[in-house]
Chains A and B, each alone.
Chain A
Amino acid sequence: MTGPVLWALMGHWRRNPLQLFTVLAGLALATALWSGVQAINAEARASYRLAADILGSADRAQITARVGGSVSVADYVALRRGGWRVSPVLEGRYDGIRILGIDPLTVPRGGGGLPEFNRTDIGAFLTAPGLILGRAEVLDRLRGRTLAGFETRPLLAPNTAVMDIAVAQELLEVDAGLTRLMVDPQQPLVQVSLAQIAPHLQLTPPEAGADVARLTGSFHLNLTAFGLLAFAVGIFVVHGAIGLAFEQRRGMIRTLRALGVPLGQLVVVQTLELLCLALIAGAVGMCGGYLMAAALLPDVAATLRGLYGADVSGSLHLRPVWWLSGFAIALLGTGLAAAAGLWQVLRMPLLAAARSRAWALASRRAARWQAGAALALLALAAVLTGFGTGLMAGFVLLAALLVGAALALPLALDQTLALLAGRAKTATVAWFWADTRQQVPGLSLALMALLLAMATNIGVSTMVSSFRQTFVGFLDQRLAAELYVSAQNAGQAADLQRFLEGRVDAVLPVQSVSRPLMGVPVAIYGNRPHATYRDNWQFLQAVPDVWQRVAEGKALIVNEQLFRRAGLQLGQKLAIGPDQSLGSSLEIAGIYGDYGNPVGQVVITEDLFKQLYPEVVAQRFGLRLDPSQVSILRGDLMKRFDLSESNVIDQAQIKALSLAVFERTFTVTAALNVLTLALAGFAILMSLLTLAGLRLPQLAPVWALGVTRARLAGFEVLRAVILAAFTSLMALGLGLLLAWVLLAVINVEAFGWRLPMDVFPAQYARLGALALMAALLAALWPAWRLVRRSPADLLQVFSNER
């Protein structure tokens, strides 16, 4: 019996291919956007895992220098002799590639994420010219730059090359010293204590270091939220189309039941039918999602590298979990979109089904329920604005605001149109407003989708543009020095400083140590007192004589991230020395904006820094000089000190680089933004096309009373544009509210800084024009069809008999 029933139900789609296309395309697009984002997130997380596994601190302890700098070979030898089973690691960056120099003979068992070595490998690895292991794309970038051989290891962490320490030293141009020592989990029972052998070294337990996955969590949460929003917009489209299908099939359902199909079986068959649709759309959506993720992943990888220093593979791998989750989300979406329809079928008395009602004509009860839900959600948003804390509360606030406003849209439209209809002067205008009001329930889902997409677009573009404006200003402040030079070692740093005396207006050392402070990882900088800082740095909060107090060693300044995360106050005392006693009298004299930096920062004066951390030698310097002399000095420095281009960078280069990273950061957001908007445009188009087929009985009487088809078609177009304009106006208000939440709530919780909000009217006007154009284009086709309809078609409305 299932076969004929399924065939009859499927016949509806055969007879309404446009509706079928809407359901499949809406669901496929929603699945594509969601699964694309998930693929990006999964790839990034897999990369973090690989990177953390490969000799990282995720699951093994490390020994490092207490105040930065390197671990000497002598320390390594002493520790081995003292019974410590440790393995040396030299780590650095070469042309952006993570270089890992290791000793394969002492690497702890289990490999620490390293590839398996066989005898031949080890031989080639250890003997000159050495062997470099890595993914093909990484090895390609290293070819021609070293004499060592290459062996492809596709399962190695992305953007990572593994080699013998000697090869790494040569590549990184490091004379001696190790980055850290990896501690074997299996240690002998008796060993000399670390404090006895090397008191200047420290043992860091597993997972105690900075965790890239944790740092990037907010970024991925943002992406997920965006993917979810796009998915929701898609589900609006599907819900509309499936709802219409259920409504149009009410008569058929009644007949099927009257002919002897049990209700339970009808529900089962309809569920089966939806399952088929979900699987087809899901498969198409997954392919789309894969393509989208593959296209966007390189930009995401660049963003994560730029913002967090995280290495993410630029190519996508298909994972079974991703496929499963993609189909699950397609099924979930179909379920959400069809739940109300199925529930109606279940509850519908057999004979009541014969009483047809206009599609989606909202009953008073449903409208009341919708108004109540909208009010409740907007009230929740208001409460969360006042009292909510944490990132999750921020996202709940966003969701409540968006969904609440979307639910309120049809009600606001209804009230406005009722008002306009009441004030109409002529019969035609009165009919137009009343008829438009009647169309609102049928178009409401598409209009809600448009509202969400436009508001998101306005909100996100306002955030990005505000961020960009602030960031450019911030770069001008912070990158005030005309030239930045990095020495290769401490000796060269001293030579450089001597050489620069008299040649430049000022040499500003860039020196720092990383220390946990109040449970937050912090970089402590020692700045040389100079007018550069006084003239350029702007504070969010500061005492009047802030730089004077810092220069005197009585105060310090902190960045906004540390200020917010550690809950600090201006004027509060902060201990920052190695044993946290020396600096106990330092008060916080200022808080500065530090956009794009995930880590907390403290700035003290250079003298105090040297006193606290005498081992740290500045190797990077900002140089102040006449801008016309920059290229000459740059050439001199490169030639005299044999420095590469990356060691001597002028201000313009750094700014360009920083801006490039910034632009790539929002490539994904912009792409998702455009796709969501396109989805909303699709929703409008499909709703208008679908409704056009149901409009004839409403338009025919007006035509019969003397309004021409052309005029009626004109009204149809005007109606679509007016509804889109109203939605655009609401979207503007909602979008600006959304931007405020993103800048003042989400950004602060996710990244630790708050950005000033600017408005960009030209951008909003462009978006509004685009929305009106989309509505106009969507309405043109049904209108054209109406103009071309024969009078016989219209007359048929008045006849039940042929």
Chain B
Amino acid sequence: MLVSLRDVHKSYSEAAGRTAILCGVDMDLAAGETLALTGESGSGKSTLLHLIGGLDSADSGQVILDGQALSALDDAALAGLRRTTVGVVFQQFNLIPSLNVADNLAFQARLSGRHDARRIADLAQRMGLEPHLRKYPEALSGGQQQRVAIARVLATAPKLVLADEPTGNLDEASAAVVLDLLLELVGETDAALLMVTHSAQLAARMERRLNLQAGRLA
């Protein structure tokens, strides 16, 4: 298995006390598999995604990614995993505002030492970003920015792509284009895809679907 979660718990402390977000989650994700994670707001979908991506740590239980227990890794090792094994696509795009589109596309590949100019050029062309390569993020529409974010992740050919509501900020037409491209490219690289979404329509396009309710998988 590429990803295995065993009895994972996570809670946050708030003014009123600790609030449990995940309560004993078990799940697996195989290499190359696509999985939709659905659930109501506050059900713990994004938290689960963050735990798998090494962006946050579980209170208890085990998160195993590519054979490594994340709880045993320090900050530098987790960062290394994010550079090479995992690619995260955020709802808010999170492009680097000080870099233009071309530099944003190449950025993660340079970080991971997997920079391949031809692949990036190919991704840019397929994403329809060629006319915008010299522009800065704020000059792009939301759909264009999300396409840059997806291409940036796929330029490193990660084993796992985590997408947190990747079309949440886009109109219907843009969302369809972005999802098509994401699935197409993930399929080509044989990467696994775990996508958090509210949309039943988008979830239906994944191979498998899990529903999270009050911190538990239903």
Contact = CB atoms under 8 A, between A and B. Distances in A.
- Please indicate whether A and B come from the same complex rather than being unrelated chains: yes
Interface of A: 1, 3-5, 7-12, 14-15, 251-252, 254-265, 350-351, 354, 800-802
B87 to A, nearest CB: 9
A801 B141 contact: yes
Contacts of A257: 79
B79 A260 contact: yes
B94 A260 contact: no
Nearest to A255: B94
Contact of B79 (A4, A261, A801): A261
A259 B55 contact: no
Contacts of B56: 350-351
Given A255-B94, A260-B108, A351-B50, 12 more contacts: A1-B83, A8-B98, A14-B98, A252-B98, A256-B96, A258-B53, A258-B55, A259-B83, A261-B111, A264-B75, A800-B142, A801-B171
B58 interface: no
B141 A802 contact: yes
A696 to B, nearest CB: 13
Given A4-B111, A802-B141, A260 B80 contact: yes
A5 B96 contact: no
Interface in B72-89: 75-76, 79-84, 88
B98 to A, nearest CB: 3
A8 to B, nearest CB: 5
A258 B82 contact: yes
A263 B171 CA distance: 35
Contacts of B75: 262-264
A261 B95 CA distance: 15
Contacts of A259: 82-83, 88, 107-108, 111
B26 interface: no
For B56, B84, B92, B94, the residue with the greatest tally of chain A CB atoms inside 10 Å of its CB is B94
B142 A801 contact: yes
A15 B97 contact: yes
Contacts of A254: 94
A1 B98 contact: no
Contacts of A10: 98
A354 B94 CA distance: 9
Contacts of B110: 1, 3-4
A250 to B, nearest CB: 11
B107 A11 contact: no
Interface string B80-123: 11111000101010111111000100011011110000000000
B140 interface: yes
A690 to B, nearest CB: 16
Of listed B56, B79, B108, residue having the most chain A CB within 10 A: B79
Given A258-B88, A263-B75, A350-B55, A252 B96 contact: yes
Pick the 6 closest A-B CB pairs, nearest first: A11-B98, A260-B83, A260-B82, A262-B79, A802-B141, A4-B110
A6 to B, nearest CB: 11
A264 B79 CA distance: 10
In this complex, the member of A7, A251, A258, A260 whose beta carbon has the largest number of chain B beta carbons within 10 angstroms is A260
Nearest to B142: A801
Contacts of B92: 354
A700 to B, nearest CB: 16
Contacts of B79: 257, 260-263, 265
A203 B44 CA distance: 92
Contacts of A801: 141-142, 169, 171
Interface in B37-69: 50, 53, 55-56
Nearest to A257: B79
Contacts of B108: 259-260
Contacts of A261: 79, 83, 111
Nearest to A249: B98
A455 B80 CA distance: 53
Contacts of A5: 111
Contact of B94 (A11, A258, A262): A258
13 contacts: A10-B98, A255-B94, A257-B79, A259-B82, A259-B108, A260-B80, A260-B81, A260-B82, A260-B84, A351-B55, A800-B142, A801-B142, A801-B169
Nearest to B139: A802
A260 B54 CA distance: 10
A19 to B, nearest CB: 12
Contacts of A354: 92
Given A4-B107, A255-B95, A802-B140, A260 B112 contact: yes
A802 B142 contact: yes
Nearest to B46: A351
A261 B78 CA distance: 9
By CB atoms of chain A within 10 A, which of B53, B96, B99, B112 has the most?
B96
Contact of A11 (B90, B96, B141, B171): B96
A260 B113 CA distance: 12
Contacts of A258: 53, 55, 82, 88, 90, 94
A251 to B, nearest CB: 7
Contacts of B97: 11-12, 15, 251-252
Contact of B99 (A11, A264, A351): A11
Contacts of A263: 75, 79
Contacts of B103: 7-8, 11
Nearest to B85: A260
A262 B82 CA distance: 10
B97 to A, nearest CB: 7
A32 B84 CA distance: 47
Contacts of A802: 140-142
A354 B99 CA distance: 19
A260 B83 CA distance: 4
Contacts of A255: 94-96
B108 to A, nearest CB: 5
Contacts of B84: 260
A251 B138 CA distance: 14
